[in-house]
Chains A and B, each alone.
Chain A
């Protein structure tokens, strides 16, 4: 089955700097890669996703890149703000049933 590894586990950045989180996946058939943001005590929220036929996608300060050859994808947050502090999860799926395999999560702390 699919295995997703996520790094780093913790990331501290100064407000205004960029944050990058990286994930690798094992199943070359995986074709859908979402990213979720989870605030304390809440359910994860989808923030951006990318499909295997696209190399990069942007939404305001958030971007995701995908390298299918190397089987890794990354989340980039620019001009970080304190409200970006949360746990971020990457995930991968190759499954029409929609089963997602999640990474272990990255705790992002943005300090003013």
Chain B
């Protein structure tokens, strides 16, 4: 069974803290994605990775970085959290060459930055 897991369901952090959001997939997918979901804006792509150690900026990369040291794990890093990064963060994965329908999402991490 397909599985994308995210390390935390809820997270509360203080402004200025460094925050790590972890995502793990067990499907041997090459491609992994980080989105944020905000009311009225839908899902917006932050970063994606098409292979280990490879990354590309999405539509809203400012304030974020990513790490992909192993194929199954994709980390989103908030170097210095700010209140405008309070959001729902969704990770997804897909195999290279796979149809778009095979992009699977994790359950999300709801981050609150105080």
A binds B: no
Give chain A's interface residues, CB within 8 Å of chain B. none
